[in-house]
Amino acid sequence: MRRYSAFAIAREAARYHQGWERAWASPEPKRAYDVIIVGAGGHGLATAFYLGKNFGITNVAVIEKGWLGGGNTGRNTTIIRSNYLQDPSAAIYEKARSLYETMSQDLNYNVMFSPRGVLMLAQTEHEVRGYTRTAHANALQGVKTEFVGPERVKEIVPIINIDGPRYPVLGALWQARAGTARHDAVAWGYARACSDMGMDIIQKCEVTGVNTENGAVTGVETTRGTIGCKKLGVVVAGHSSVLAEMAGFRLPMESVALQALVSEPIKPCMDCVVMANTVHGYMSQSDKGEMVIGGGTDGYNNYTQRGSFHHIEETVRALVETFPMISRLKMLRQWGGIVDVTGDRSPIISKAPVEGMFFNCGWGTGGFKAIPGSGWGFAELMARGYSPLTAEFGLNRFREGRFIDESVAAGVAH
């Protein structure tokens, strides 16, 4: 694989950009692999990358029923932060945030990581107490955050209205080194690096069955034939319960749609991410000038990937009071993604009841920010059978009552 560089751009410009290679190969599947990863989204590709980089396991296939990065990786609002209350959550998200900082260099691919900072608004006295508690917990965890007053919020985001009649801004939890990245580029960068290590990325290949023998996984049935493997990692977000059912067990999770939208592009007016959990909306401005707006999940289980007027009304109505200027904007496009939600709003990164099978799911609405940390820990779990980064996120916690309750701690699971 040729390295991308300023010299490469100059060279290709001189020959009318005729010499660029394909970023990753699209081979036919082999009969068997050491490891199969189901799901070519950010988490699945990150897992494959760290299997190769950290453990030298490169006889790997990443199979995807659609196109690479076409699921939640390409349907999110790109927020990256690590200021969670619970220790296991803070650890894996902080690992991810730190890996994002060097990802462009590690992958030789510009993922457009922007450490612009994330403000989580406190608009009730309850939130003030909660975020102050989180700031203290983050200090103990080594995660750099601070609780700031309304004047500082106004200084960071001049367009905000801190004196709203229903929900005035009383302060905010501020993480200066949080931010955003380009979601497509994260998937493409990992895919390019995996392909360079000799891994097979197989698109348009849907899993239709899981093959087992004596309680251990032996491979998968797909629309492109039977593929054998020694270990099987399932990283398919909202469809995880479908794959689990194929293997003969159930997962404690449900699938719901999460919707988002972007406005028409405007001149730069906001250089950080703002989350308003009380009114349940969050917003940032993309490099193209669009205001990226998201809210909560639908109130019922579904597998839709379309938007709805109900979401526009609920989310934008909540944000207009805090950001009056957006009332004059036109919506450019809207979409939905299928998220996987557990009872405690924390992920499942665990061995499955079937030997040699592993699941990475349950990230709910906060999966993008965790991609590199999730891949790092899941790769270690698959390679060694144990990872300190994922140990608390096992399936057995639901049987034992050891919940990691981020739904209470974070107010909203983003």
First to last CA, the chain: 36
Give the pLDDT confidence score for residue 314 in this predicted structure.
84
Residues 158 and 267 in one domain: yes
For residues 143 and 414, which has the higher predicted lDDT (pLDDT)?
Answer: 143
Residues 56 and 160 in one domain: no
Residues 265 and 406 in one domain: no
DSSP, residue by residue, 11-35: HHHHTTT--PPPSS--PPPPSEEEE
How many percent of the chain have pLDDT more than 90?
Answer: 82
- Give the mean pLDDT of 62-84: 94
- Cα 286 to Cα 386: distance, rounded to the nearest angstrom: 38
For residue 308, name the pLDDT band (cuts at 50, 70, 90): confident
Q: Domain total for the chain?
A: 2
**Does any domain span residue 227?**
yes
Q: Please report, to the nearest 10 degrees, the dihedral formed by the alpha carbons of residues 264, 270, 275, 280 taken in order.
A: -40
**Does any domain span residue 398?**
yes
Q: CB-based contacts of 74: which residues, under 8 Å, 6+ apart?
A: 183, 184, 187
For residue 67, name the pLDDT band (cuts at 50, 70, 90): very high
Give the pLDDT confidence score for residue 102 in this predicted structure.
97
**Does any domain span residue 23?**
no
Six-digit token string for 139? 């200090």
Burial class (CB in 10 A: 0-12, 13-18, 19+), 335: middle
- Cα 346 to Cα 406: distance, rounded to the nearest angstrom: 6
Give the pLDDT confidence score for residue 408 in this predicted structure.
52
For residue 366, name the pLDDT band (cuts at 50, 70, 90): confident
323 with 276: CB under 8 angstroms?
no
Residues 103 and 39 in one domain: yes
Single out the residue in 307, 323, 342 at which a domain terminates. 342
Residues 168 and 262 in one domain: yes
Dump pLDDT digits (tens) for 367-402. 999 999 999 999 999 999 999 999 999 999 999 999
Mean of per-residue pLDDT scores for the chain: 93
342 with 244: CB under 8 angstroms?
no
For residue 407, name the pLDDT band (cuts at 50, 70, 90): low
Six-digit token string for 147? 């609780």
Give the pLDDT confidence score for residue 414 in this predicted structure.
47
Alpha helices in 176-308 (DSSP H): 183-196, 240-247
Query: Which H or E run includes 374?
Result: helix 371-384
331 with 312: CB under 8 angstroms?
yes
Burial class (CB in 10 A: 0-12, 13-18, 19+), 221: middle
- Give the mean pLDDT of 227-242: 96
- Cα 123 to Cα 162: distance, rounded to the nearest angstrom: 9
251 with 358: CB under 8 angstroms?
no
**Does any domain span residue 5?**
no
- Cα 233 to Cα 198: distance, rounded to the nearest angstrom: 18
Dump pLDDT digits (tens) for 83-117. 999 999 999 999 999 999 999 999 999 999 999 99
- Cα 219 to Cα 231: distance, rounded to the nearest angstrom: 8
- Which residues on neighbouring strands pair with residue 172, listed in sequence order? 121, 148
**74: Cα separation from own chain's centroid:** 10
Residues 288 and 336 in one domain: yes
Give the pLDDT confidence score for residue 313 in this predicted structure.
85
**Does any domain span residue 263?**
yes
82 with 90: CB under 8 angstroms?
yes
Q: CB-based contacts of 108: which residues, under 8 Å, 6+ apart?
A: 3, 4, 189, 193
- Cα 8 to Cα 1: distance, rounded to the nearest angstrom: 12
Residues 245 and 269 in one domain: no
Q: Does 145 score more than 90 pLDDT?
A: yes
Give the pLDDT confidence score for residue 51 in this predicted structure.
98
Q: How far is CA 306 from CA 203, 312, 331, in A?
A: 23, 12, 15
**65: Cα separation from own chain's centroid:** 19
Residues 197 and 337 in one domain: no
Single out the residue in 319, 342, 365 at which a domain terminates. 342
CATH of the domain at 136: 3.30.9.10
Q: Does 143 score more than 70 pLDDT?
A: yes
**Does any domain span residue 13?**
no
Q: Does 413 score more than 70 pLDDT?
A: no
Give the pLDDT confidence score for residue 410 in this predicted structure.
46
Give the pLDDT confidence score for residue 299 in this predicted structure.
80
Give the pLDDT confidence score for residue 411 in this predicted structure.
43
Dump pLDDT digits (tens) for 244-291. 999 999 999 999 988 999 999 999 999 999 999 888 889 999 999 999
Residues 388 and 338 in one domain: no
Residues 303 and 403 in one domain: no
Closest CA to 54 of 356, 380, 351: 380
Q: Phi then psi for 74, rounded to 5 degrees?
A: -95, 10
**Does any domain span residue 199?**
yes
Single out the residue in 313, 342, 371 at which a domain terminates. 342
Per-residue burial over 186-206, b if 16 or more Cβ lie within 10 Å, else e, is bbbbbbbbbbbbebbbbbebe
**Does any domain span residue 297?**
yes
CATH of the domain at 218: 3.50.50.60
Pairing state between β 79-80 and 179-180 = antiparallel
Residue tagged 């998200």 (tokens):
93
DSSP, residue by residue, 391-410: GGG-THHHHHT----HHHHH
Residues 279 and 149 in one domain: yes
Residues 315 and 328 in one domain: yes
Q: What range defines the domain where residue 234 resides?
A: 28-82+84-109+183-252+344-410
- Cα 319 to Cα 123: distance, rounded to the nearest angstrom: 12
For residues 300 and 286, which has the higher predicted lDDT (pLDDT)?
Answer: 286
Q: Phi then psi for 46, rounded to 5 degrees?
A: -65, -40
